[in-house]
Structure formats: C-alpha cells, structure tokens
Amino acid sequence: MPNHQINPNRWIELYSDYLFNYTISRVNDREIAKDIIQDTFFAGLKSMKNFKGEASERTWLISILKRKIIDYYRKINSKKGQAEVRMTYNTDENEGDWLEERVEDMTYLNAQDILENTELGDAIYDCMSKLSERQATVFKMKTILNYETETICNELNITPSNLWVIIHRARIALAECMEKNWFKS
Amino acid sequence: MLRLFIISKEEAFHICDKSQYRESTIWEKLKLSFRYLWCRATRLYVNRNTKLTKTLKSSNLECLEYSERKLMEDRLNEQLKNQV
C-alpha cells in the first residue's frame, strides 16, 4: 500500500524553491537552474505512473533532479572542446584578466565549504517547509529576496503590523527547528 | 528619565525582529539594549534571533522571484493540460 500521494498541482508551491536552492548551489547559474527545474517537473509529469508512493514526493522529484543535473554536466563536458576554442586570454589587451576571473570563480572555493553550505541550505528549506504557506511566502520575500516591507505589504495586501507578526512567528518556528535539526548535530 | 527606556518584552522582541533587517532606529536599539541588560527572556530571544540571522546569511540561500515562479507554474499547468 503506497504511503505517499502525488499531486503535480502543488509542486510549484511546495517544492520549487527547495529544488531551486538545491540546483543553484550545484550549477551556480540562476537561468540554468530554472531550466533544469522546469525539465524536472516535466519529466516528473511524464513518469508519474512510475511513482510507487514508497518515498515522499519531494524525494522522488529530487531523484529526477539529480539525474537532470548530471545530464547538464555531461552536456557541458561534451562542449568542452568548443569552450577552449573561445578562450582569448593570450592577446595583449586581455593579459592578466584570467587571474581576476579565476579569483572570482566560485568553483575555487573550498569543497568542504560548498558542501556545508549546501547542507545548511537544505536544512533551512526543510525547516521552512514546516511553516504555513503565508509565513513561508512573507519570510522568503523579506529575508531571502530582501524586499522592502512596503513592497511586500502592497503585493500581499497586508499591513506592516501583520507582516511583523508573521515574521516573528516564522522566525521563532525556524529557530526552534534549526536548533533541533542543525545546531545540535 | 529612566521611564523613557522601559519597554515591554513584546516590544523588545519586535525591535529585535526589525533589527535583523536593519529597520530599527537608534532610539529603539537603545531601548532594546537597556532591556537586554536586565531581562533574561529578551537576552535569550536576541541571542537566538541573531544566531538565526547569521546562519541564514552564511547559507547564501536563494529562492525564485514571484514572476519566475508564476512562469514556471503556467508552463507546468500547460503541460498538465496537454497530458490530460
């Protein structure tokens, strides 16, 4: 008997941000991350009949997403030759530029740092998934997207005092959840 | 004079929340600091809240803009319709 149900009508609401954060930390490009997630949802729709309900819907989507990310890296690896041809660092004008670009490149960060950051992001999203939809929306707009209070109030048609009550409750719930699931481990 | 500095616990929490987004005034911060000195609950809340902010900042969390989400939703719904 399957324990989990599948409902694609709620995928965007429930999983899009989680999947986006998961993907962007692995591909480092917003546009590519969005494309990969869209592909994941389409692939999920196509293979819905294979969903047995043994794992949660999110775990199932993540397994599809992981394959999509691997496909993406395979694809860019096969284009490696082309990329090398495009490099023009040896002209006089560009001399030295490569060093600055390498310094800015995120892929040169310590691998351990990246792994910890990714895990931390996953843990925060796990905790955020326990908030009510309203709380999660306001919290994301205020804390992650850094929207002005006024903008959020106008967009969601709430008063500033409503907003701060929602933020307060969301922060308490998140702090408790992170205390249990992240800081203690 | 001292009365001017006295605020309720709820007000202290509210100022602390606003401070996490740099939206509190210097005067509010002063009042919060004063309460922080003698109120254990305020100290606990401030420390916990600050820890959460630091954690969130260090995670470099990302999420979709409202318009990006909407576009994704429209495309998915379109695909769903075609599938049915």
Task: Round to whole Å and give the CA distance between B18 and A168.
Answer: 9
Q: Name chain B contacts of A11, Cβ cutoff 8 Å.
A: 76
How close, in Å, is residue A155 to chain B by CA atoms? 10
pLDDT at A104: 42
The residue extents of the domains of chain A are 1-86, 109-185
- Inter-chain CB proximity B52 and A175 less than 8 Å: yes
Angle at B12 between CA B9 and CA B17, to 5 degrees: 130
Please state the ipTM of this predicted complex. 0.88
CATH number 1.10.1740 given to A1-86: yes
**Per-residue pLDDT tens over the stretch A4-61:** 888 899 999 889 999 999 899 889 899 999 999 999 999 999 998 888 888 889 999 9
Give the pLDDT score at A50.
85
pLDDT bracket for residue A2 (50, 70, 90): low
Residue A100: its pLDDT value, please?
39
Query: Would the pTM of this model clear 0.90, i.e. be above it?
Result: no
Q: State residue A5's pLDDT score.
A: 84
Helix A30-46 crosses helix A57-78 at what angle (to 10 degrees)?
Answer: 120
CATH code for the part of the protein at A109-185: 1.10.10.10
Q: Which residues 6+ apart lie within 8 Å of A44 measured at CB? A: A8, A11, A60, A61, A64
Q: What is the pLDDT of residue A78?
A: 80
Model confidence at A97: pLDDT above 50: no
Per domain, the residue ranges of chain B are: 2-83
Average pLDDT along chain B: 93
Contact A20 B63 (CB under 8 A): yes
Output DSSP code: residue A29: -
List pLDDT tens digits, range A98-135.
Answer: 433 433 444 445 666 666 677 888 899 889 989 998 99
- Min mean pLDDT across A75-89, A142-156, B69-83 is at A75-89
Q: From the candidates A15, A36, A120, which should be mutated to test the interface with B, based on the most B CB atoms within 10 A? A: A120
Q: How far apart are CA B79 and CA B84, in angstroms?
A: 9
Q: What tens digit of pLDDT does each residue of B35-62 get?
A: 999 999 999 999 999 999 999 999 888 8
pLDDT digits (tens, 9 = 90+) for A149-168: 999 999 999 999 999 999 99
What H or E segment, with its residue span, contains residue B13? Answer: helix B9-20
Q: What separation in angstroms does the CA of A36 have from each of A13, A39, B82?
A: 17, 5, 20
In this prediction, residue B70 carries a pLDDT of 92
Rounded to whole angstroms, how far apart are CA atoms A18 and B37? 39
pLDDT value at position B84? 66
Q: Would you say residue A85 has pLDDT above 80? A: no
Q: What percent of chain B has pLDDT over 70?
A: 99
Contact flag B55-A120 (C-beta cutoff 8 Å): yes
CA distance A86 to chain B (A): 31
**Any residues with CB less than 8 A from the CB of B33 and at least 6 apart, and which?**
none
Cross-chain Cβ contact A143/B56 below 8 Å: yes
The secondary structure element, H or E, covering residue A139 is helix A133-139
Span B8-22, average pLDDT: 97
Distance CA B8, CA B14 (A): 10
Q: What is the pLDDT of residue A165?
A: 97
The verdict on a CB contact (< 8 Å) between A175 and B49 is yes
Lowest mean pLDDT among A61-70, A125-134, A136-145, B1-10: B1-10
What is the predicted pLDDT for the residue at A76?
86
